[in-house]
Structure 1
């Protein structure tokens, strides 16, 4: 056996052979790294923080950030100004008088009976018209002047009471639109020798229009079932109306829609001339019995979904309705686009009598009688009408004021 065969050590390094046995094997690496020093982090002191923040690096960063913010603000402001300048402006049109007016459907017989009482009756009519104007009404639709069976000569013969009513209406700054739906217009065209369609040579028609326009009438109301509801006839009417029209005092043609679907004009060619200025529509369906809640809801929903047309709309209640339903529908009329047309109501008669009693020599007796007959509900209805009509006027004034600067620019 060689020497030191059992010795597994080398030099001064002890071996792991037989001498050490199994428990003397190496359990640690030959080269152990030095332990890293433990770093204790501490926050910067005030002096150290001021020294670091005041360095040249941080100063440059702050300058760049401030410059970036200012450049971003200038760019955003320039973009906003450019959008405002380059955006297309809406074409603003001034509202005409029929677009700013509340129409009041009035029976002529009511005022003719009052005027028949003599000078006192004429004064009462004048006070009634002035009171209607104070309530916010801008135009009257005068009904009952014409009726079926009138001869063509009666179309140019105005009773004295009607002439006085027109004069007092003009003094009260109330426009008057003559209702011709009950008139037999075919009689006028037949008098001119045209039994079918009217023509440009219908002299009796032109004479009748000129007569009433000369009396101060601001326009005419026809039905879509009349013989005059055609392009040829309306062109003839438009020519006569333009003779009496001035800026701010235009003469108009209104058409009452008698069916749910508008009737098209019996026209053979397209024309750029405005034939109809206002279309009068009823919210409630025409029925002899009061409609149900479902019918009222369907009628209102259908009218609100109608596509807007070029012709200015005017809304009236129409049909049979209870007093409470009329009150609610009146609020709806004020909020709908277009010009409301209010039907004559007994509440306004009572309120007018109360108003006129203030200037009466026996005002104490008349006023006590009036308040006795006019309960709180009727006074509330008139007050509601007054508030809503003036709110509508304020809205129209705001629209007009917004349109004027654009028109000037």
Structure 2
């Protein structure tokens, strides 16, 4: 049987403006907090994809009503007391859902639930969340002593702790903060390296208890809180691919509108600027505490850099597209601090290295690093490309192109 393949070839300039789908991280958290609220709230322009639809179904299984209204969700919450699910809760491939939901379920007095997922999710490490939740008094068991799903949770009896994250992880931080809403006393998370702060911003949006002081974030037991509408900004990770495409295709200029510009997510912009990218961006509004604006990228000759390890937690999902940009940069690019990418739904470090090699890019990989030797574009030779590939059925942008919010549907 023939192996599937794509035919690709260099294309002309990319020009125009577009909007990208909603932010996945905010969609996950918005659905969960609306399910815990009292009353009815709407989630405008969420991402409707496999992971987030799994979250919608999980919150339905726990008693919330999640209804579609065109591209939006309308959610009627259960308050802080969720309903015991009648069946195993399937998290699909969504690691964010499983880890954050462990924090919520650990605080549900007397509620019993079992969380599972697909084969990939059942291989992913859950001990990093289970261990600190157990320190708070949570009853959680599962495969390999609770390090892997399926995981069984019996909620209640939580007490606040102070926990220092051994590895930068917004998911672990968020799980503990969510558990802290049901715990006696103060729950404190200390993060030596900043991670994305969507959970903290949504706590403030919904009026939940939160204190932030340097690397320390604290919460405490919450009182019932009313639902509020929430608009999800465009996903920066999705925007990153269009921005890098504009940077490496000669004579291109692309503007992404309505995109989230949360500084704990935009580390890639700082690295690309250091590489010589012609990038502009501006915050023009805010939604639920999330800065939203536009980013403009123009074709730029890039140069290799050594990436600051401290920036990786602020761009962990954008490392693959950074590696693509590095393939077109002059000189060497070194990307460190990638151990977290080894334990995603796939080994992303290995996958990046494999695909770059297939395109003729010089690349080395270590346990937690990548090093590439770029192949900068010779604009005097229009036939220059990494391999003699041919593109069929492509869609290019022009000055009249506008891509609205995509409309998909929950099934």
Greater percentage in helix: 1
Greater percentage in strand: 2
- With normalisation by structure 2, the TM-score equals 0.27
Larger relative contact order (CA 8 Å, sep ≥ 6): 2
